[in-house]
Structure 1
Amino acid sequence: MFWTNFKQKLLSIPSKFRFSVGANTRSRLLLTAFGIVIIAVLVIGFYWSREPAPFPVADTTNQRLARIGNEYVVGSATTAALISAAETLLDKPGGYLSNDMLPPGIYLDNIPNWEFGVLVQIRDLSRSMRESFSRSQSQSTEDADLIISEPRFHFDNDSWLFPPSESEYREAIGYLNSYLSRISDPQNVDAQFYARADNLASWLLNVESRLGSLSQRLSASVRQQRVNTDTAGERGALQSIPTRAEVQVKTPWLQIDDVFYEARGATWALMHFLQAIEIDFEQVLADKNAGASLSQIIRELEASQRSVFFPIILNGSGFGIVANHSLSMANYISRANAAIIDLRSLLAQG
């Protein structure tokens, strides 16, 4: 009798703790789970949207050379800065986002535009290294590693699969590491980096063009009436389709932050590359008395990387109460570009 009563009481325990889950309760649970997912996506997206911090070019160069057991030679800093910028593009929080097909990456646009700005500068410098910095003359052969590395950086920046963009850029970085190892190896005379005024001026001419375009696009955040100067300076100049003497320019409202973050990425990469140039071309700059000009360019680019203390990019009139972040960025870029023009002039002097 005792065991029978005890068994019945034991079997009745689960029924006392049984919960009745109705339709309302299930709906609440689903909404709660959905809310948690949304909050998690927002938090991760916010973390991934942070721009990477600058890296010390000189220290990074020394660390890379120490890992391969070589010492500094001319060209080491520029090559190491190019490698580090490319690695930052891939290894920052969230990784490479421009080709993401899943949330939160697919919903983010600020960092993908930042990535594109960095990538354009990487492409330009890698091309100059292949065509100019690594060659003694226009008729000399191109470096074997740079022949393979440079076109891989020009691979489609938003390819998700077959192959993904990251894999192509990783391969390019691998060949750059091989080039760095070869130019810093005293036993290897096949790989070279030539620090000359003419090849530096050639790369700076391309930088000048890029910054000029970014400055114009940033300035167009407010509607402007501009005089058409497309064929100015040459009487016989022609263009395929004639345009009006005055043109009105205005960046579409939804593209203002895209242009801003592309400019932030471009100036971030260029800041590091010029710091490396300052190391590798120290003697050339001293001979041309151009060191101060380069330092001023770097200072302007560093100022362009100041933190934006507002969650969105403001687009005021320029003289109103509300700030205009695009015009502020255009100001720094224009001043850096003007200094680059002066630097190229100094390099061209005998």
Structure 2
Amino acid sequence: MLDRITGFFRSIGSAIGRWFGVLAAGILWPFMAAHGWYQRRSWMIRLPVIAVVALFAVLYGYFFWQTQVWSGFNPNFVDQYRFSERKVAAGQEIPAADTGAAAAASPAPAKTCQRSAIVDVTADLIDSNVNQNAWISSMLLYRMGFFGVDWDHTPFLDNKASFQRGINQAVRRTSAELVDTLGRVRGTSGINGDLQSARGNLQYDEYSWYFGMNPFGPKTPTPSYYRSAIESLRKFNTDLANCNAVFDGRADNLLQFIDRIANDLGGTSDILAERSENHNFGWFDTRADDRFWFAYGQLYGYYAILTAARSDFSQVVAERNLGALFSGTTKQFQAALRIQPAIISNGREDGWIMPSHLATMGFYMLRVRSNIVEMRAVLGR
């Protein structure tokens, strides 16, 4: 009996060994065949081959570096703005400092207005995506995929791209609200040209490289459009600081803005729930990581933007007693952004070996959304 059991396990071990042998031979065969072909060629052919291989080695080295190094990543980067020190809401005139009799004798200084914290943060988030870091989604090697397989369908090198697209989702939504409501007096002023330009550039395809097939021909890459959006946003804020632009900080505009954010987060939480419920393969779900990091990037962006909104709408926040709700929402964002697992697992929610990071992120996202919905209810009274 013992011999049969031992033989059974030996046969399993032999089968696994043969399987790995066949797999290794299949992987190595193209390289061995290429090596044999290369050895039979003259240096006139070898040198161009060496040059091409060296080029791809450099490109993949750069690509690996850019996907693994996240420059400027800091969930607490909002603290550097010191929004709590702002005493005037966005677009309102900043009172001139009283310097006594000397000030009375001198000419009146040009009036200045408060810049928009939302616009500053939005421009800086884009800057982090395309200037402090390479925009991964439009890089040539990202578009080529992993031996023809989309990187998003692999567990490798796609986390940063998903994180950047999550931030971009928050930035796009915010740019639309700036054009439609926040950057104009509804019904009595036209659309601001700089904000309109920024919104148009941010809606550009996230995957464009210097050349494309549909339509066929050369293209302007995605990061160039996003850099133009940064310039437009900062130009708007310069005009606003000079009191030559409008920021309409009314309560109904804040209500509409946070309502759009709540809907956006609700859509992402639904995506997380669908993936968690129907594809819970633990560490072997190759799409779990990009779902997780997209949601993380979206929360990262909205955390900064909503913190800025509290400053821009400071008068409304004070009048409607929203301070406690904003503080509670901030704590929920911070709790969600502390979740940074090295490997994303999409296991069963009641599993004990493989955790369910998607369910955890979805839970925190819904807590954030719940606080935002409560703020919306207070504003709507």
TM-score when scaled to structure 1?
0.72
Kindly tell me the number of residue pairs found equivalent between the two proteins. Answer: 283
Trace 1:1-350 onto structure 2 (pairs within 5 A).
40=61, 44=65, 47-48=68-69, 52-54=73-75, 55-56=77-78, 59=81, 73-93=113-133, 95-102=134-141, 108-161=157-210, 162-186=219-243, 188=244, 191-223=245-277, 249-250=278-279, 253-310=285-342, 312-321=343-352, 322-349=354-381
Q: Which amino acid aligns with 1:47?
A: Q
Return the offset for 1:48. Answer: 3.0
Cα deviation digits, residues 121-174 of structure 1 (max 9, x gap): 111101101110111123521112112111110011111121111111111111
Q: Which amino acid aligns with 2:181?
A: S
Return the offset for 1:308. Answer: 2.2
Q: Which amino acid aligns with 1:216?
A: D
Cα deviation digits, residues 270-319 of structure 1 (max 9, x gap): 00001101111112011111111112112111221115242x20122122
Instruction: Supply the distance in 2 between the matched residues of 1:314 and 1:207 (Cα, whole angstroms).
Output: 27
Instruction: Supply the distance in 1 between the matched residues of 2:287 and 2:176 (Cα, whole angstroms).
Output: 28
Residues 308 and 195 of structure 1: is their aligned pair in 2 closer, same or farther, counting only changes over 3 Å?
A: same
Residues 146 and 104 of structure 1: is their aligned pair in 2 closer, same or farther, counting only changes over 3 Å?
A: closer
Instruction: Supply the distance in 2 between the matched residues of 1:202 and 1:119 (Cα, whole angstroms).
Output: 20
TM-score when scaled to structure 2?
0.67
Instruction: Supply the distance in 2 between the matched residues of 1:206 and 1:46 (Cα, whole angstroms).
Output: 31
Q: Which amino acid aligns with 1:164?
A: P
Residues 278 and 325 of structure 1: is their aligned pair in 2 closer, same or farther, counting only changes over 3 Å?
A: same
Residues 307 and 45 of structure 1: is their aligned pair in 2 closer, same or farther, counting only changes over 3 Å?
A: farther
Cα deviation digits, residues 14-45 of structure 1 (max 9, x gap): xxxxxxxxx8xxxxxx9xx99xx599568625
Residue 215 of structure 2 corresponds to which residue in structure 1? none
Residues 42 and 99 of structure 1: is their aligned pair in 2 closer, same or farther, counting only changes over 3 Å?
A: closer
Return the offset for 1:222. Answer: 3.1
Residues 179 and 319 of structure 1: is their aligned pair in 2 closer, same or farther, counting only changes over 3 Å?
A: same
Instruction: Report the identity percentage.
Output: 24
Residues 127 and 41 of structure 1: is their aligned pair in 2 closer, same or farther, counting only changes over 3 Å?
A: closer
Q: CA RMSD in A?
A: 3.1
